[in-house]
Amino acid sequence: MNSLFRIALLVLAMIAGTRSGTHDNSVFSSEIPIISQMYITQGTLYIPYAEIEEPFTAWVDLKAGRSRIDFYGGVAKTYQLGDRNDFGVIRKIVPMTDESLLNKITCFEVNGTSENQITAQSILPDMTGFKLVGEEVVNSIHCKKYQLIDTRGEKVNKYTYWVKTEPSTLDPLVEVGVPVKYEMRGFNSLLGSHYDHYYLIYEEFRAEQPTSEVFEVPETSAPCRDFPGPGANHHRTIATFNPMREFIHNVDDHITAGFDEFVQTHNKKYHEKEHMQRLNVFRHNHRFIESKNRQGLTFRLAINHLADRTSEELKVLRGKLYSKGYNGGKPFPKFSKEDVDDLPESIDWRLYGAVTPVKDQSVCGSCWSFGTVGALEGAYFLKTGQLVRLSQQALVDCSWGYGNNGCDGGEDFRSYQWVMKHGGIPSEDTYGPYLGIDGYCHIQNVTATAKITGYVNVTSNNADALKLAMRKHGPISVAIDASHKTFSFYANGVYYEPKCKNTEDGLDHAVLAVGYGTILGEEYWLVKNSWSTYWETTDTFSWLNVTITVESPHRPHTLPCSVKTPDLYTIYLGGWPDKLISSKLFLVEK
């Protein structure tokens, strides 16, 4: 469906030609409704597999060769201007933050070329090949139902278009079409499953010519410019400057190009059937990332090493379990207002050398061991002045007797009990490297490096207690809700997920809190994750980029959900209104 919509307002004209592949239905031109080439429409794009509901507003003038499509109420504005320059121009107006500007509304512009000419983007499908298959009520509207079945090898794509008809305002004797819904369902016979599904609901539609002013850059925007750095990339440009093209014309070259780049970057190797499966997973994750980035959030997402993984596979990375009842920890000591007043405005234990580099737990639900070890490494540093890599693998292999399940999940307090029982935890050098699997325990053959005498529960729902604990005892093991795709594909910025759970059993991932501070009036926690250096994508340290910590991929990074604590204030970490965080404080044996 690569050609533009070419149905005149008063004269019905079907353009001869068919798509590549075979069709099991033919063209019935007399049954195709007349729809204007100039219109304004508003609706929502739904992509169930990618968990996306994206509102849009479109101004389309196919006669003049120009269009504009806004997403999320105008947060992201895209322009496809085929009437500018020799080969057209595409523009995108979005908030941009750099070293000197915060959320400056900025116009980015890319010129078309002879190979990639810019044309207007219809928001309606080209109905070449569609057949009237019946009538149906959609959203309480009586519609004619048109369908095209397109077979390409093992893929069978079914396109369905629901249109209501009404008398033309120019000639009451002529019936014109008004779009109601457009849907695509893709089935892969080799995989035996649906690989794609999306649909558009048209909530408003007016057959009128948009004014010229609609296609001009608003005065509130900075002058149009090219991208900083290496500039535009063709397949990325399609996804960001004209995302609707993929869903109206079924153009997915940018998906396959992005997937090829992903495979090469991360050295992925698949057999033929798995390659198709992974491409489809990548497709939906890519759509999710691009859609979220159009929302103008306080953080950005990006393709990373997890982009070919399903939701079930991502769940494996979240191995923090939950046990009800007392966990054996000591209560947090009482503190005074003076203690809180003496707290520094910010702490970052990385700057003092108390935090080891970011590690990769691999395909193993051992996050609980990384939170545990990170806290012990920090406590050992505070006691000795030495930063030593301690062994997560020892906990994975050997703490089963205390209720941990190796790569199938565990809890930090069970790990501390094991460390206390066995006289400490060995270093990575003495025990051996992290393997990412359930290995053979050989603790009796190595010497313990770091010993503890106990652990203390930091008071829940109390930011001051956590700050005091962190100031005196170093990094703290904490639990968060990491079940959301926004967390899986986090790149930089202040991460806030309103859907974060607020119950103990909803906290499914263990991380390491290594600092806190305030940026632009908002308080935050600085957190180290264990999903490799590919998880966060920025490679410069800047406090001005999208509000919060953007740092070296070789150092701890990120912010999980946003926490709003009643009777206190808003802080950045977790989104739980009733409970701040599940955390522990560790005491190194003297």
- Catalytically active residues are 367, 509, 529
**Gyration radius (Cα) of the chain, Å:** 28
Angstrom distance (rounded) from CA 255 to CA 250: 11
73: left (phi over 0), alpha (psi -120 to 50) or beta: left
Q: Is 214 exposed, middle or buried (0-12, 13-18, 19+ CB in 10 A)?
A: middle
Q: Which of 500, 488, 575, 573 is nearest to 536 (CA)?
A: 488
| Strand pairing report for 582-588 and 155-167 | unpaired
Biggest CA–CA distance in the chain, Å, is 94
For 26-41, b where at least 16 C-beta lie within 10 A, e where not — what string? ebeeeebbbbbbbbbb
Structure tokens at 527: 């957190």
Structure tokens at 431: 């025990």
Structure tokens at 482: 């990491």
Instruction: Give the amino acid at 165.
Output: T
Instruction: Give the amino acid at 442.
Output: H
Chain CA centroid to CA 302, Å: 7
Angstrom distance (rounded) from CA 390 to CA 392: 7
Instruction: State whether the Cα torsion 574-575-579-580 is positive or negative.
Output: positive
Is 152 in a helix, a strand, or coil?
Answer: strand
Where would I find the H helices in 422-541? 428-431, 463-473, 485-488
For 44, list phi and psi in degrees, rounded to 5.
Answer: -140, 135
Instruction: Give the amino acid at 201.
Output: I
Angle at 75 (CA atoms; ends 74, 80), nearest 5 degrees: 65
